[in-house]
Amino acid sequence: MRNRIYSPRFTPGPAIVNLSSKTLEPQEIETLEKGPKFSFLPKQVPVADIVSSLESALHKQYPSVSNPDEVRSGLINILYNSQKKFKPPTNSTPENLQDIKILSNLRKDPSIIITKADKSNSLVVMNTTDYDNKIFSHLNDTITYQTITHDPTDQFTNNIINELKQLKQNGKITPQLYNKFFPRGSFCPKLYGLPKIHKQGIPLRPIVACTKAPAANIGKWLCTAFKPLLYSQNSYIHNSADLIKNLSNTSISENTIVSSFDIVSMYTNIDVTVSEELLKNKIEENYHLIETSATGIDCEVLMTLVKICNKFSMYFQFRDSFYQQKMDYPWGHLYPGY
């Protein structure tokens, strides 16, 4: 018999939602309940990783911090002082060795997929066939997608390099930016899905991992450069604390009706040409907001970089097959939100 669904209300850790035909043993459930971020203690303090995470958090969550260098320096001092007192843990305990064995066996089981749920810390166990069928139900849309016979990553990488060389030779970008944008160690973007366990039928949210795509370096830079445009929007909500602050002065009557709307396949319903034109107008009207973050690059060059990202990001891989998106924005776009 299949395991029951474990609710977060009854378990000390993240829920385990077993949708597969495999019955999980109690020891397997106990290991999985440690969550998707479970790992063994490092043998030394990972100073570089912690500092990198802090810088990312300061940039994304607290962009208004006036002294980020002082915060970074203070953290580094604390970490190095604690490292002197740090005693390497012993990870080879019987419990840890059992966890390693369990996770290894589950990973090797080809009949199941274990993945994080969408909008939840739950872990979901699915039959591989069910997972694949849900993904293929998206890919069967022949209006939006088509299969291609080979991986075009090398070709796209060369195309991007040629475009960047042209921009550098014409003095449109500096040698420093050319090196920053240059694609290194590129891989084909991979498609995966997160189960929406809060919805009927448990559909998958399709996501394309583009972190090592040929245009990823350009996309990351554009995302940072365009951040001030996003912050300037009246509709922009920075985080939950910002939402509470905005609502604190809002008066809601007893007869108010609150409704929510679900956007279906948002990226694949965005017209690329229209969105590029809207972005261009936004940049021209508000260039003063991004002049610093865009390092003085003019609107024309910024839009050239945007079009490079759009043109060479419309493909991905699932299992052993490659697909090209024929229209609109790709899943997991390199600079979302603009």
Q: Residue 188 burial by CB count (10 A; 0-12/13-18/19+): exposed, middle or buried?
A: buried
Task: Using DSSP, state whether 310 is helix, strand or coil.
Answer: helix
- At residue 187 the predicted structure's pLDDT band, cuts being 50, 70 and 90, is very high
DSSP per-residue codes, 260-288: ----SSSGGGS-HHHHHHHHHHHHHHSHH
Please enumerate in sequence order all residues whose Cβ is within 8 A of that of 96, keeping only pairs 6 or more positions apart, or say none. 40
More confident residue, 331 or 253: 253
Give the residue with greater pLDDT, 35 vs 266: 35
Over residues 158-174, the mean pLDDT reads: 96
Q: Is the pLDDT of residue 129 over 90?
A: yes
pLDDT at 337 over 70: no
pLDDT at site 242 = 85
Strand partners, 217: none
* Whole-number Å distance between alpha carbons of 167 and 157: 15
Residue 335 has pLDDT above 80, yes or no: no
Q: What's the pLDDT score for residue 250?
A: 81
Q: Are 208 and 189 in contact (CB under 8 A)?
A: yes
**Cα 125 off chain centre by:** 21
| CB burial of residue 91 (10 Å; 0-12, 13-18, 19+) | middle
Report residue 199 as tokens: 């919805």
**d(Cα 267, Cα 269) in Å, to the nearest integer?**
5
Share of the chain above pLDDT 70, in %: 86
Q: Assign 316 to helix, strand or coil.
A: strand
DSSP 5: P
Pairing of strands 190-195, 145-148: unpaired
Is the separation of the CB atoms in 59 and 228 below 8 Å?
A: no
Total residues found in the chain within this entry: 338
Rounded CA-CA distance 124/32 in Å is 10
Residue 217 has pLDDT above 90, yes or no: yes
This prediction's pTM: 0.76
Residues 19/128, Cβ–Cβ less than 8 Å:
no
- Residue with the larger pLDDT of the pair 133 and 234: 133
pLDDT surpasses 70 at 328: no
Cα–Cα dist 289/312, whole Å: 28
| pLDDT tens digits along 258-296 | 888 877 777 777 888 898 999 999 999 999 999 888 888
| Predicted confidence (pLDDT) at residue 329 exceeds the cutoff of 70 | no
| The pLDDT of residue 295 | 84
Q: In the prediction, which pLDDT does 113 show? A: 97
Which pLDDT tens digit goes with each residue over 140-156? 988 889 999 999 999 99
Across the chain, which distance is largest between two alpha carbons, in Å?
Answer: 67
Structure token pair of residue 62: 């607290």
pLDDT digits (tens, 9 = 90+) for 101-112: 999 999 999 999
Token digits for 25?
A: 């043993």
Residue 328 corresponds to which amino acid? D
- Residue 183 and residue 216 in contact, taking contact as beta carbons nearer than 8 Å: yes
pLDDT in tens, 56-106: 666 655 555 667 777 778 877 887 777 777 666 666 677 788 998 999 999
Tell me the residue ranges of DSSP E strands in the chain.
16-18, 112-116, 123-127, 145-148, 190-195, 204-209, 315-318, 321-325
The residues that bridge with 124 in the sheet, in sequence order, are: 17, 115
The residue type found at 268 is T
User: What pLDDT does 66 receive?
Assistant: 64
